[in-house]
Amino acid sequence: MTQSGDQAFRKSDNMGRWPEMTYGGALSFLRRRYSRDLDGVDLAVMGVPYDSAVTFRSGCRLGPQAVRAASVQLAELLAFPWGFDPFETLGVVDYGDVFLDPHHPDTIAPAIYTAARDIIAGGTKLLSIGGDHSIAYPLIKAHAEKYGPVALVQFDAHCDTWPDDGNRMDHGTMFARAARDGIIDVSRSTQVGLRTYNDSDHGFEILTSPWIHRNGIDAVLDVVRSRAGDAPVYISFDIDGLDPAYAPGTGTPVPGGLASWQALEFIRGLVGLNLIGMDLVEVSPPFDTSEITALAAAHVAHDWICVLAQAAGAVMAPVGRV
């Protein structure tokens, strides 16, 4: 078998990669092979195509497809700035999308929770691509049942801690519920990039966009590290944490946000934390421009994988001043 092209369905193992045409071939995230066999898999990437919990513009159910398509060039070269191929260190598969029936909304959260629970049960880590931000609740619930209450690091324009009645689930209330249910340890959690108002911080440390612009990413990382300590850290990355100039393709854009370079520096600076899982949400292709939102999302997810590879022993060989 010629080892080039269509590795998403032709490759028989989880390590390394083949040459691909960036403009052709079967699409998967970073060209990883599609598989639900988790034997020897360090990380599974799962799409969660759901957006019926949005409060403004819809379309992020198409996010997983768009982020996969935007990842093609990242599967071509050694990772910047590390200078390594993360898949020489980590076994990574594209798990495909969790199957959801939006016409039975009461089944959505249980389906996401069950899929996540089954993936992480054997030690495989999970990167979930949404979908709207409400999917974070069942994902965190699954992780908390395995690891205990998580230190949440939330990258977002919004607090997502607005009141709910105990039954309501939308993409702006789930972290208030998660804190109330004890699956998030708010004393160790940080919200990064916020620029909308809530009367309560719910115990989270809030680093607003203006504060970050004044103080820089290193100051953000100091706060995140100090609060998280050695706790299990779950990253929930809402693409609207970026300014609409860098991420127009999202449902609730808010001016004044972070630039894509700041987000990438933030993700790259998480080395050393006890990273257990991540979701990346709210990419809405119908509102995107030249795929720049999907590209930013793909780079964030890729760089988080590289952080995991570095922690697992991948050797950096950067070129230039980094």
Q: Predicted confidence band at 92 (pLDDT cuts at 50, 70, 90)?
A: very high
Is the residue at 172 inside a domain? Answer: yes
Q: Is the pLDDT score of 162 beyond 90?
A: no
Q: Give the pLDDT confidence of 264-290 residue by residue, as tens digits.
A: 999 999 999 999 999 999 999 999 999
Q: Is the pLDDT score of 161 beyond 90?
A: no
Q: Cis ω on the peptide bond leading into residue 249 (within 30° of 0)?
A: no
Based on the structure, what is the number of domains in the chain?
Answer: 1
Q: Is the pLDDT score of 53 beyond 90?
A: no
Q: Is the pLDDT score of 193 beyond 80?
A: yes
Q: Give the pLDDT confidence of 102-129 residue by residue, as tens digits.
A: 999 999 999 999 999 999 999 999 999 9
* Residue 267 to residue 286: CA distance in whole angstroms: 26
Determine the pLDDT at residue 197.
85
Range of the domain at 302: 29-311
Mean pLDDT value of segment 283-300? 97
Question: Is the Cα dihedral 70, 134, 226, 205 positive or negative?
Answer: positive
Is the residue at 202 inside a domain? Answer: yes
Is the residue at 229 inside a domain? Answer: yes
Give the CATH number of the domain where residue 67 resides.
Answer: 3.40.800.10
Q: Is the pLDDT score of 1 beyond 70?
A: no
Q: Is the pLDDT score of 239 beyond 60?
A: yes
Higher pLDDT pick, 272 / 166 = 272
Is the residue at 4 inside a domain? Answer: no
- The neighbouring-strand residues paired with 127 are 45, 278
Q: Is the pLDDT score of 303 beyond 80?
A: yes
* Residue 237 to residue 283: CA distance in whole angstroms: 11
Is the residue at 221 inside a domain? Answer: yes
Q: Dihedral angle at the C-alpha atoms of 135, 59, 307, 267, nearest 10 degrees?
A: -100
Cα–Cα distances in Å, from 293 out to 69, 270, 283, 288?
A: 12, 22, 7, 6
Local structure of 70: helix, strand or coil: helix
Is the residue at 11 inside a domain? Answer: no
Q: Is the pLDDT score of 163 beyond 90?
A: no
Is the residue at 143 inside a domain? Answer: yes
Is the residue at 3 inside a domain? Answer: no
Structure tokens at 279: 């979701």
How high does pLDDT run on average in the chain? 94
